[in-house]
Amino acid sequence: MIPLACLLFIVGPPQTVVIVTPRGETIVPLSTERGSSAVAAPLLAGPLGLTAAIEGSRATVSLGGAVFVFQLGAPFVRVGGVVYGLVGEPYVARDTLFLPLQWLADCVPRALGARYHWNAAATRLEELPVAGTVVATAPMAPAPAPAPASPPPVGHPVNAPNPLTGLRHHHAVVIDPGHGGADPGNPGRFFSGGLVEKDITLAVARLLRAELTRRGIAAQLTRTSDTLIDLADRGAFCRAECDLFVSIHVNAMPAGRSAERTAGVETYFLSDAKTEDQERVAKMENDALRFESTAAGGSRGPLDYILKDLQLNEYLRESARLAELVQDKVVAIHPGGDRGVQQAGFMVLTTARRPAILVETGFATNRTDGAFLASSLGEHKIASAIADGIVAYLLEFERRRVDGPAGGS
């Protein structure tokens, strides 16, 4: 058994992480660069049930009844049947095992589910009190209520898969019909009866809600009538009780010789580095205040910096996969063809704190697309296809989160 510490890969002032359990607290020192003067944790075996051992190149760390297996020099950790990627490699120096902080901040809460909570602001890993035995051999469950910016919740397990979808958990989706009220969206050149984009998006969104409900998925609209909702407020609908966010729109080409020839579906996922950066910078500056009295030169909060990056990467990956699956399904029923999955910085997507996509369901400036979008049959087909894509994503998500004995990734 050897002392355990954590490694932070960004140079900065020394920091610590506190592990808080019903049985007491332990302070874990953080090394801020590889090989620097990290302090070994004074007490890690014992009251917290945290132990580390090394055999050859294999490091085994027990925490909260789970066993995490690392390979020295390899950026991953295995717990049960699930492998998590790490931002850095575990290593041993001066008889101390150094692990990426991300393991504690990200992997442990995910693997141990509801029992541990990572408090980024306080750099604390908090074990929640459990009735009965505390250091657990209890079964590990996936987290029912992750932190605001963590992956979508899988909800409460149900006994049998839904006969229509195969989904085993409760899911909730927020649907955002683009535009509304004073904002008509694009004028819908080839829509019949004076319809404009805001009418089509609302019609498709309502049908999508019905299709999701039929599949046992809770669905909420950001608007149910012809009203205008601020872009920044739309994403806010998708918070705690929401797995993902889908915004519905209709494309249009600017007038020109080829405008009428452009047709088809494209699905966007979040990529607004500007907004994310602004958030990150603000977080960094605020975080620096905590270090001012203790260290010179500490000008940023490396912990939040890393975590923010991790969260953003998680969103991008999840949102991109959701976009891909929805795009595949819609393309299969659409007369206009496949314009692919795209990345762009839509304001509406950046305010959702879950995987978020925006579906451009076709071109109002194309005769065939326009007729399809303005028809009841076309709208039903699009809504049903988007719902199928969402189900495909949630099935994948459930498999990844739930199949592993430790709650999966």
Binding site for Zn ion (CB under 5 A): 178, 185, 249
Q: Which residue is nearest to Zn ion (CB)?
A: 249
Q: What six digits make up the tokens of 234?
A: 């739309």
Strands 96-100 and 265-270 come out as unpaired
Closest CB 205 distance from Zn ion, rounded Å: 12
The neighbour count for residue 208, using CB atoms within 10 Å, is 27
Of the pair 182, 289, the CB lying nearest Zn ion is at: 182
Q: Whose Cβ is closer to Zn ion: residue 104's or residue 250's?
A: 250
In angstroms and rounded to an integer, the radius of gyration of the C-alpha atoms of the chain is 24
The DSSP element (H or E) to which 362 belongs, if any, is: strand 356-363
Contact 144, 155 (CB under 8 A): yes
At residue 323, the 3 state secondary structure works out as helix
Task: Indicate the residue among 372 and 397 with the shorter CB distance to Zn ion.
Answer: 372
CA separation for the pair 119, 307 (Å, rounded): 11
Shortest Å distance, C-beta 185 to Zn ion: 5
Q: How far is the CB of 100 from Zn ion (least distance, A)?
A: 41
Cα distances (angstroms) measured from residue 196 to each of 114, 180, 186, 259, 266: 46, 10, 6, 17, 19
Nearer to Zn ion, 170 or 249 (CB): 249
Cβ proximity to Zn ion, 128 vs 347, nearer residue = 347
Distances (CA, A) of 131 to 22, 35, 201, 367: 11, 41, 49, 64
Q: Which is nearer to Zn ion, 249 or 381 (CB)?
A: 249
Q: For tokens 């008889």, what's the residue?
A: 95
Q: How far is the CB of 341 from Zn ion (least distance, A)?
A: 17
Q: How far is the CB of 198 from Zn ion (least distance, A)?
A: 8
Closest distance of CB 250 from Zn ion, Å: 6
Task: For 22-177, list the strands marked E by DSSP.
Answer: 24-31, 51-55, 58-63, 66-71, 76-79, 82-85, 91-93, 96-100, 116-119, 124-127, 172-177
Contact yes or no for 248/330 (Cβ under 8 A): no
What is the nearest approach in angstroms of Zn ion to the Cβ of residue 373?
Answer: 12
Q: Report, in Å, the least distance between residue 393 CB and Zn ion.
A: 22
Q: Is 92 within 8 Å of 72 (Cβ atoms)?
A: yes
**Pick 206 or 249: Cβ nearer Zn ion:** 249
Rounded to 10 deg, the angle between the 197-214 and 376-402 helix axes is 50
E strands in 205-256? 218-221, 244-251
Question: Of 82 and 348, which has the nearer Cβ to Zn ion?
Answer: 348
